[in-house]
């Protein structure tokens, strides 16, 4: 068989052989040009990525691709903020920073072993066909690698903070349940609000952000323990004194305690609360024993017995025991600085109108006249019978008010003239047994100047009892 022509022999085969691999070597130079050297520090990695995204932003602006330019601009702003935080020595969100294709991971703690993952694209040409199609997997590797630095490494600062937050939140949940079981719903609601306040802090800690632990609420019950165990002492209390002065102070404090116990006991006994009356009777007996001990030691000129002060809280039910359930007392006490042209010659009195037992038949009355002053002291008291158990009367307290009118006495052949009016709302009497205040004199909605002092009393509030907490510095002789 004759040999092939010179132009079609082995040379043709050689020319055809490279046709396959001519296109395959083309990608490696591009990958190698896009891969920067592996950064040695975090700052170097951030600056490399910032320069890359700035270059892409400029090229997008040059091409007229405004959408891509804005997107790249936002990423550039993220990296600029991260660089500022890193220079200030503060942590920055590594997970939120996009990674350009072919870039090595940021060398933060816990991911140094993943640094050589970048050049692996160019080492084995025989395997280029496998990663060629999923080209997006190259940037995905750096995005997943920083995660262990914040969440996967045991004993990190973020994990410790997250564990502490979850532990404290659990304490408030348990405290809320216990308070609810004890019947203290107000305290249970307060603990529940504090329990909910931990949710945004826990989300921030789970996202890798630092949490200021100094802003966390105190452990449930710790404030009460501190108040019981410690007491702030003023400098005046630490001044040295003689033994007789200290004895006098102890005797005075014990006398005041004994008086408080007896008055409170009588109050509870008058309203029929036997349990609290017995409680204060026992406190009175204890204070009387301490008082006798101090007096005996003082008379015998013995050293001062050991003593300490405690902070005690008592629940007091406010009640006007001198009134019956169906009585109301209205006291018109005094006028204050009426704005009139003749302040030293004016003679005034006060009329009032109370919508009881109904608004069609109100109760009306007036005070005596006080002469020659614009600061009159009326000191007038009026007792009104009220149908307390009537539901219509209970609604009256929400809708109506006590109307008062200040009148000036007229002269010869001259009628009386009105100086001003006052409306006292009755709504506070639903939760309080006494309303005592000074009210502005009005002409419609216009203030005229001057006030009128009025006090309204009933035995119990209309809806519920008025319970107040009384805190006392209690002396106990050891």
Q: pLDDT tens digits for 385-420?
A: 888 878 777 788 888 889 999 999 887 778 889 999
Instruction: Report residue 42's pLDDT band, with 50, 70 and 90 as the boundaries.
Output: confident
For 215-245, write each residue's pLDDT tens digit.
677 777 655 544 444 445 454 554 455 788 8
Alpha-carbon radius of gyration of the chain = 43
Q: What pLDDT sits at residue 369?
A: 92
Q: Which residues contact 397 (CB under 8 A, 6 or more apart)?
A: 426, 427, 429, 430, 462
For 123-141, write each residue's pLDDT tens digit.
333 334 344 444 444 444 4
- Position 470 pLDDT exceeds 50: yes
Cα 298 to Cα 113, 256, 292: the distances in Å are 81, 18, 10
- Domain boundaries along the sequence of the chain: 27-152, 157-226, 235-318, 327-458
Q: What pLDDT sits at residue 273?
A: 84
Q: Spell out where 319-413 has E strands.
A: 327-336, 348-354, 363-366, 377-385, 401-408
327-458 CATH fold: Immunoglobulin-like (2.60.40)
- Position 193 pLDDT exceeds 80: yes
Q: Residue 42: helix, strand or coil by DSSP?
A: helix
| pTM of the full structure | 0.46
Cα–Cα distance between 406 and 337 in angstroms, integer? 13
Instruction: Report residue 458's pLDDT band, with 50, 70 and 90 as the boundaries.
Output: very high
Q: What pLDDT sits at residue 28?
A: 44
User: How many residues does the structure list for the chain?
Assistant: 478
Assess contact for 337 and 346: CB atoms under 8 A: no
Q: What pLDDT sits at residue 150?
A: 40
Name the percent of the chain lying above pLDDT 90: 17
Cα–Cα distance between 205 and 184 in angstroms, integer? 32
Average pLDDT over residues 143-148: 44
For 346-375, write each residue's pLDDT tens digit.
999 999 998 876 667 788 999 999 999 999
Average pLDDT over residues 265-292: 87
Q: What pLDDT sits at residue 390?
A: 80
Cα–Cα distance between 65 and 60 in angstroms, integer? 5
Q: Residue 261: helix, strand or coil by DSSP?
A: helix
Cα–Cα distance between 121 and 137 in angstroms, integer? 11
- Position 164 pLDDT exceeds 90: no
For 90-117, write each residue's pLDDT tens digit.
888 887 888 887 787 888 764 333 333 3
What 8-state DSSP symbol labels residue 150?
I
Angle between helices 157-181 and 185-196 (to 10 degrees): 160
12-26, 210-224, 331-345, 378-392, range with greatest mean pLDDT: 331-345
| Least-confidence region, from 4-18, 248-262, 264-278, 287-301 | 4-18
């Amino acid at each position: 068989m004759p040999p092939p022509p010179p132009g079609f022999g082995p040379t043709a085969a050689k020319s055809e052989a490279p046709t396959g691999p001519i296109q395959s070597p083309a990608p490696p130079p591009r990958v190698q040009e896009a891969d920067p050297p592996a950064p040695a520090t975090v700052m170097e990695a951030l600056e490399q990525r910032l320069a890359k995204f700035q270059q892409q932003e400029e090229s997008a602006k040059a091409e007229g691709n405004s959408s891509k330019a804005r997107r790249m601009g936002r990423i550039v702003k993220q990296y600029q903020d991260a660089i500022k935080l890193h220079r200030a020595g503060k942590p920055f969100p590594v997970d939120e920073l996009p990674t350009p294709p072919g870039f090595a991971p940021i060398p933060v703690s816990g991911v140094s072993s993943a640094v050589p993952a970048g050049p692996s694209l160019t080492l084995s040409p025989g395997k280029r066909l496998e990663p060629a199609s999923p080209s997006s997997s190259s940037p995905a590797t750096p995005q997943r690698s920083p995660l262990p630095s914040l969440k996967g490494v045991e004993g990190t600062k973020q994990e410790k903070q997250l564990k502490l937050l979850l532990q404290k939140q659990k304490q408030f949940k348990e405290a809320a349940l216990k308070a609810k079981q004890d019947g203290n719903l107000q305290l249970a609601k307060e603990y529940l609000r504090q329990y909910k306040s931990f949710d945004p802090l826990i989300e921030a800690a789970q996202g890798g952000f630092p949490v200021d632990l100094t802003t966390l609420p105190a452990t449930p019950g710790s404030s009460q323990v501190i108040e019981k165990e410690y007491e702030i002492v003023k400098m005046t209390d630490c001044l040295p004194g003689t033994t007789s002065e200290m004895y006098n102070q102890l005797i005075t404090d014990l006398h005041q305690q004994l008086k408080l116990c007896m008055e409170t006991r009588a109050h509870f006994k008058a309203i029929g609360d036997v349990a609290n009356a017995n409680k204060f009777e026992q406190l009175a007996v204890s204070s009387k024993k301490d008082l006798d001990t101090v007096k005996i030691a003082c008379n015998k000129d013995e050293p001062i017995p050991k003593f300490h002060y405690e902070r005690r809280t008592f629940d007091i039910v406010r009640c006007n025991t001198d009134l019956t359930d169906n009585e109301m007392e209205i006291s018109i006490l005094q006028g204050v600085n009426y704005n009139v042209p003749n302040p030293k010659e004016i003679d005034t009195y006060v009329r009032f109108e109370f919508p009881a037992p109904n608004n069609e038949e109100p109760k009306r009355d007036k005070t005596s006249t006080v002469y020659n002053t614009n600061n009159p002291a009326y000191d007038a008291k009026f007792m009104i019978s009220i149908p307390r158990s009537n539901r219509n009367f209970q609604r009256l307290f929400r809708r109506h008010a006590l109307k008062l009118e200040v009148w000036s006495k007229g002269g010869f052949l001259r009628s009386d003239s009105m100086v001003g009016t006052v409306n006292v709302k009755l709504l506070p009497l639903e939760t309080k047994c006494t309303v005592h205040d000074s009210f502005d004199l009005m002409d419609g909605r216009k203030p005229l100047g001057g006030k009128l002092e009025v006090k309204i009393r009933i035995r119990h509030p209309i809806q519920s009892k008025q319970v107040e907490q009384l805190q006392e510095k209690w002396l106990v002789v050891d």
